[in-house]
């Protein structure tokens, strides 16, 4: 038994070219497909396609160029089963190029959605197994920058000019390939990046290996990044850990001063047994 609904998606991209307008029809419909197998199993498959324009001056691209961006999410879910299979893909073309041609790049990863951040980054939501995490890519080239297990933090380090910085927190999985991250005292790695590259990274460790293991746990702990302003107008990066219900929160809070285009880890306010050190991949 098969029901199929097709939603037409029409994009009109008009641009001046030799005094004429160009009209492109994408021919890529969003679709919903619902099937019932002989054993009664019901499956829903959904594909959504979304187009948008970038700002001019995307880092890594010509100054006056805009990109036509196509985001495709595709999910398959068996009703009654836990979990869903899902991917998100971003493709980019210079505005004015027909999407029938090969894109500048294509990023496709397991995930549920993706968002453009500050006209410079593509952030893919990767959480498919009750674990929230994100992968961050350069919008101009599709290059992977870093992963984060706390919502991406972005802010300007200057009041005079807009100088954006992006902060993530990578919590290493048990099967990480980097043996240094397998050390029992490792908690997480803080990443400090511009729209173009990763600038600095720091490793957070705890002398209590059991506590470090708990703070690394995806199921047991929630992590949050925030930026605060001190009385003198300077900025502080705040990192917090909270154990999830039904455990008491047992908070762990860290405050790290922002010094220029860096973190001043020498003056960080850390709980006892916690340490920060420079980290290089």
DSSP state of 233: S
Q: Where are the domains of the chain?
A: 1-142, 145-281
Give pLDDT tens digits for 30-45: 899 999 999 989 999 9
pLDDT of residue 129: 77
Question: Buried (b) or exposed (e) across 81-116, using 16+ Cβ within 10 A?
Answer: eeeeebbbbbbbbeeebebeeebbbebeeebebbeb
Mean pLDDT of the chain: 90
pLDDT of residue 2: 37
pLDDT of residue 25: 57
Question: Buried (b) or exposed (e) across 193-218, using 16+ Cβ within 10 A?
Answer: bbbeeeebbbbbbbeeeebbbbbbeb
pLDDT of residue 22: 54
**Residue 19 pLDDT more than 80?**
no
**Residue 21 pLDDT more than 70?**
no
Q: Environment class of residue 76 by beta-carbon count within 10 Å: exposed (0-12), middle (13-18) or buried (19+)?
A: middle
Rounded mean pLDDT, 190-200: 97
Give pLDDT tens digits for 136-193: 999 999 999 999 999 999 999 998 889 999 999 999 998 899 999 999 999 999 999 9
- 20 SS3 class: strand
**Residue 29 pLDDT more than 90?**
no
pLDDT of residue 76: 94
Q: Using alpha carbons only, how large is the chain's radius of gyration in Å?
A: 22
pLDDT > 90 in the chain, percent: 80
Q: pTM value? A: 0.87
Give pLDDT tens digits for 81-104: 877 899 999 999 999 999 999 999
């Amino acid at each position: 038994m098969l029901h199929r609904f097709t939603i037409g998606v029409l994009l009109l991209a008009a641009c001046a070219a030799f005094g004429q307008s160009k009209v492109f029809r994408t021919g890529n419909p969003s679709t919903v497909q619902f099937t019932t197998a002989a054993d009664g199993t019901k499956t829903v498959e959904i594909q959504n396609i979304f187009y948008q324009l970038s700002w001019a001056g995307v880092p890594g691209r010509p100054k006056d160029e805009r990109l036509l961006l196509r985001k495709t999410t595709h999910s398959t879910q068996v009703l009654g089963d836990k979990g869903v299979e899902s991917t998100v893909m971003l493709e980019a073309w210079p505005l004015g190029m027909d999407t029938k041609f090969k894109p500048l790049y294509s990023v496709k990863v397991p995930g549920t959605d993706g968002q453009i951040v500050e006209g410079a980054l593509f952030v893919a939501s990767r959480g498919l197994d009750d674990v929230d995490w994100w992968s961050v890519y350069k919008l101009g080239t599709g290059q992977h920058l870093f992963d984060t297990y706390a919502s991406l933090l972005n802010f300007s380090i200057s009041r005079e000019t807009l100088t954006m910085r992006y902060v993530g927190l990578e919590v290493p999985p048990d099967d990480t390939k980097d043996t240094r991250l397998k050390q029992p005292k490792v908690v997480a790695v803080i990443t400090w990046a511009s729209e173009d590259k990763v600038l600095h990274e720091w490793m957070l460790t705890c002398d209590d290996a059991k506590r470090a293991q708990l703070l690394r746990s995806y199921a047991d702990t929630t992590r949050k990044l925030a930026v605060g302003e001190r009385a003198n107008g300077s900025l502080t990066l705040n990192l917090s850990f909270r154990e999830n219900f039904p455990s008491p929160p047992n908070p762990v809070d860290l405050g790290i001063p922002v010094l220029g285009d860096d973190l001043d880890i020498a003056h960080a306010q850390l709980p006892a047994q916690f340490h920060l050190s420079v980290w290089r991949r």
